[in-house]
Amino acid sequence: MQSRVSTLEDGNIGKDPSQRPQPRGLPMRRILKVLAFLLALGVVFSAVSVYITRYYGLHSVVQRPLVGLQPCIEVVDALARWIRPPSTVTHAMSDEELFWRASFVPQVKKYPFERVPKIAFLYLTIGPLPLSPLWEAFLKGNEGFFSIYIHSLPTYRDEFPSSSAFYHRQIPSQVSEWGKMSMCDAERRLLANALLDISNEWFVLLSESCIPLYNFSTIYQYLMGSQYSFVGAFDDSGPYGRGRYNFLMAPEVNISQWRKASQWFEVNRELAVTIVKDTVFYPKFKEFCKPHCYVDEHYFPTMLTIEAPHLLANRTITWVDWSRGGAHPATFGKVDITEGFLNRIHEGHSCLYNDQPSNLCHLFARKFAPSALEPLLRLAPTHLGFGDQRQDPGT
């Protein structure tokens, strides 16, 4: 790219004025004047084109019909415009504008270029990501196969170094509260921002307390090979399930379609678009599912059960431990992280994967406290399948 531009400049601008053949029979002073004028013009022209190249990108220069340019360059460049991910995750679009833009779907299903599908990791956080060193170890060496998006409190400013996969990946965020529609808005915002990159194929919602349970290639293959998206969706006839249904949601949603699940999902691109483009169910949930109806437990599972039941696995692949009882799942800290504990998370599960029995049922787990980082980093090479064996905990 760079060399193409400098060639253009060298060939068209730099040489011309000084290399013109001298006209004969004119007085010397006049010739000198003309030469000086042309030289000045050349300098101004080069300065202007350097400015244009630097501030308006290559296109404004490349797309001008310059001598010697093959027409195919313009065509390739035009397609690249649609393929290239946005250079930054910051933008000034409102949610309405963003969701509209993110809902664009190509109608020709075969991509006319080599598309390497990526996993978009969507971090729904309050602020810092204390477990980011573990994620960095997990992601290392897999550049080009994932992208990162972070939604946090709008006032939070991350401090990741430029070498980090998390550097400058904070999307324009708004305050979101558990159990309220603002939580679903934040999740839709994450999906919509990630949809702007046409290479993102799977969308994994995570919190700051989530960890990966296997190496990248295992997780990548599991997701890319799945016919179904991983959204929990169960029909709970009790007070915390159907008991939260409001009959004013009919006819868009009736009680037999009402579903419940934890919010942590892994969806493919098709379902991500379904969620982002929804204008039918959204107003019903916003108006009629308020505490004690916790909308983040019902909106996506119910809406997707109505819109695309054949694409749902009806289970999540994010492991969590409810066995300790109470209103919240267990949080694991430093003393909990042992070899035996990690073995227990990996073993003894059975589920269906692409309609076949499988023992690999969870790819991610929550909830882990910041103090769990050190033992997790230490055990990751032997028990999670990634990371540096000789990891120095101090760095």
Ligand X SMILES: *[C@@H]1O[C@H](CO)[C@@H](O)[C@H](O)[C@H]1NC(C)=O
Contact positions vs ligand X (CB under 6 A)? 215, 217-218, 228, 233, 254, 256-257, 305, 309-310, 312-314, 385
Q: At closest approach, how far in Å is the CB of 174 from ligand X?
A: 31
Q: At closest approach, how far in Å is the CB of 262 from ligand X?
A: 16
Q: At closest approach, how far in Å is the CB of 318 from ligand X?
A: 17
Of 323 and 389, which CB lies nearer to ligand X in the complex structure?
389
Residue 154 near residue 189 (C-beta atoms within 8 A): no
Q: At closest approach, how far in Å is the CB of 293 from ligand X?
A: 19
Of 80 and 250, which CB lies nearer to ligand X in the complex structure?
250
Full strand arrangement of the beta sheet holding 146-151: 146-151, 118-124, 200-206, 266-268
Q: At closest approach, how far in Å is the CB of 138 from ligand X?
A: 11
Residue 166 near residue 132 (C-beta atoms within 8 A): yes
- CA-wise closest residue to 139 among 87, 216, 244: 216
CB count within 10 Å of CB 143 equals 8
Of 154 and 309, which CB lies nearer to ligand X in the complex structure?
309
DSSP lists the bridge partners of residue 319 as 365
CA distances (Å), origin 119, targets 130, 200, 266, 343: 21, 6, 10, 26
Q: At closest approach, how far in Å is the CB of 323 from ligand X?
A: 25
Of 184 and 253, which CB lies nearer to ligand X in the complex structure?
253
Residue 124 near residue 207 (C-beta atoms within 8 A): yes
Of 254 and 358, which CB lies nearer to ligand X in the complex structure?
254
Please report which residue ranges of 225-268 form alpha helices under DSSP H. Answer: none
Of 160 and 300, which CB lies nearer to ligand X in the complex structure?
300
Gap between the Cα atoms of 167 and 159, Å rounded? 8
Pairing outcome for strands 118-124 and 200-206: parallel
Q: At closest approach, how far in Å is the CB of 310 from ligand X?
A: 6
Gap between the Cα atoms of 146 and 223, Å rounded? 12
Of 18 and 354, which CB lies nearer to ligand X in the complex structure?
354
CA distances (Å), origin 292, targets 171, 226, 245, 246: 30, 35, 10, 11
Of 233 and 267, which CB lies nearer to ligand X in the complex structure?
233
Q: At closest approach, how far in Å is the CB of 179 from ligand X?
A: 23
Of 291 and 309, which CB lies nearer to ligand X in the complex structure?
309
Of 93 and 306, which CB lies nearer to ligand X in the complex structure?
306
Record the tokens describing residue 14, joined without a space: 């730099």
Gap between the Cα atoms of 336 and 368, Å rounded? 10
Kindly compute the dihedral angle of the four CA atoms of residues 91, 137, 145, 219, in this order, to the nearest 10 degrees: -120
Gap between the Cα atoms of 327 and 88, Å rounded? 39
SS3 state at 104: coil
Residue 148 near residue 230 (C-beta atoms within 8 A): no
